[in-house]
């Protein structure tokens, strides 16, 4: 079945450091890929998405590129801020058949220190 | 106002009690979902509903039931709560033409 593997945390960085959170996936079809972010005490919010190979999703300084050849969707940000401290989830939806089920990775906790 | 609301936000209950978690949405979406989040396990789908007359089991439906009272309301019930149902529960909605899901703020449930 479909699955998402993301790097285990926690990840602790200093403000203005470069961030990479790795995400790889296994899917039988051609999934759409997402990064969701969960700030403390809140629900998940969509951060960015990509729906086909080589698409780049971007939002709030974060970027991720859909790499079909490596089945990856790594999240990057050039300069993190304290306000980026949150849990980040990589997810996919299988775009064939029943396109309802989001499959999530286990989440990566990011803490950014001033 | 939030598009997806959940009540209660926090609940402590005892083993064997029946409890209902409620979700309401103002996004006008037909599709609604219930997930549970456990540390280190990500989110797992409990039930989902594509419209008022359509209810489906997710990955981990045992011990749970749901009711779709209207397009905007989707409730999750624990008929007889047990301690391993202690978790953070999220409701979500989506539009069938778009794949993003919109999440409520969550209900933190503790079963003692």
Q: How far apart are CA B28 and CA B5, in angstroms?
A: 13
Tell me the nearest-neighbour CA distance from B105 into chain A, angstroms.
4
Chain A residues contacting B via beta carbons under 8 Å: 32, 34, 36, 41-46, 49, 51, 89, 93, 95, 99-102, 104-107
8 Å CB contact of A100 and B50: yes
Instruction: From chain A, pick out residues whose CB is under 8 angstroms from the CB of B48.
Output: 100-101
> Among B27, B43, B91, which would you mutate to test the A interface (most chain A Cβ atoms within 10 Å of its Cβ)?
B43
A52-61 mean pLDDT: 95
Residue A75 has pLDDT above 60, yes or no: yes
Q: DSSP letters along chain B, please? A: --SEEEE-SEEEE-TT--EEEEEEE-S--SEEEEEEEETTTEEEEEEEEEETTEEEE-TT-TTEEEEEEETTEEEEEESS--GGG-EEEEEEEE-TTS--EEE---EEEEE-
> What pLDDT, in 10s, does the model give residues B41-93?
889 999 999 889 999 999 899 999 999 999 999 999 999 999 999 999 999 99
Considering only CB atoms, A105 lies closest to which of B31, B42, B102, namely B42
pLDDT number for residue A29: 75
> What pLDDT, in 10s, does the model give residues B9-19?
999 999 999 99
B84 or B95: which carries more pLDDT confidence?
B84
pLDDT number for residue A99: 57
Chain A to chain B, count of Cβ pairs less than 8 Å apart? 49
Instruction: From chain B, pick out residues whose CB is under 8 angstroms from the CB of A95.
Output: 99
CA contacts within 13 A on the Cβ side of B110: 4
> What pLDDT, in 10s, does the model give residues A82-92?
999 999 999 99
Residue A33 has pLDDT above 70, yes or no: yes
Counts for chain A of helices (H) and strands (E), in that order: 0, 12
Gap between the terminal Cα atoms of chain B:
33
pLDDT band, residue A94 (cuts 50/70/90): confident
pLDDT number for residue B97: 72
pLDDT band, residue A49 (cuts 50/70/90): very high
User: For residue A103, which of B29, B7, B43 has the smallest C-alpha distance?
Assistant: B43
pLDDT number for residue B36: 96
B82 or A100: which carries more pLDDT confidence?
B82
Contact between residue A100 and residue B50 where contact means Cβ atoms under 8 Å apart: yes
A94-111 mean pLDDT: 79
Considering only CB atoms, A43 lies closest to which of B31, B45, B103, namely B103
pLDDT band, residue B39 (cuts 50/70/90): confident
A41 or A88: which carries more pLDDT confidence?
A88
């Amino acid at each position: 079945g479909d699955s998402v593997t993301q790097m285990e945390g926690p990840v602790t960085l200093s403000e203005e450091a470069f961030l990479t959170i790795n995400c790889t996936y296994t899917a039988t079809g051609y999934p759409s890929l997402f990064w969701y972010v969960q700030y403390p005490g809140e629900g998940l919010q969509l951060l960015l998405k990509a729906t086909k190979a080589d698409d780049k999703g971007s939002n709030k300084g974060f970027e991720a590129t859909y790499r079909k050849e490596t089945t990856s969707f790594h999240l990057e940000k050039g300069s993190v801020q304290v306000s980026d401290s949150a849990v980040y989830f990589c997810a996919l939806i299988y775009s064939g058949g029943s396109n309802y089920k989001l499959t999530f990775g286990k989440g990566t906790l990011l803490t950014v220190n001033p | 106002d939030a598009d997806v609301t959940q009540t209660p936000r926090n609940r402590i209950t005892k083993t064997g009690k029946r409890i209902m978690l409620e979700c309401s949405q103002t996004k006008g979406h037909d599709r609604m979902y219930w997930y549970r989040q456990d540390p280190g396990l990500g989110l797992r789908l409990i039930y989902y509903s594509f419209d008022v007359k359509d209810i489906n089991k997710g990955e981990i439906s045992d011990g749970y039931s749901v009711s779709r009272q209207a397009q905007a309301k989707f409730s999750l019930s624990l008929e007889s709560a047990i301690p391993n149902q202690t978790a953070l529960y999220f409701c979500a909605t989506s539009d069938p033409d778009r794949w993003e899901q919109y999440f409520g703020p969550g209900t933190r449930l503790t079963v003692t």
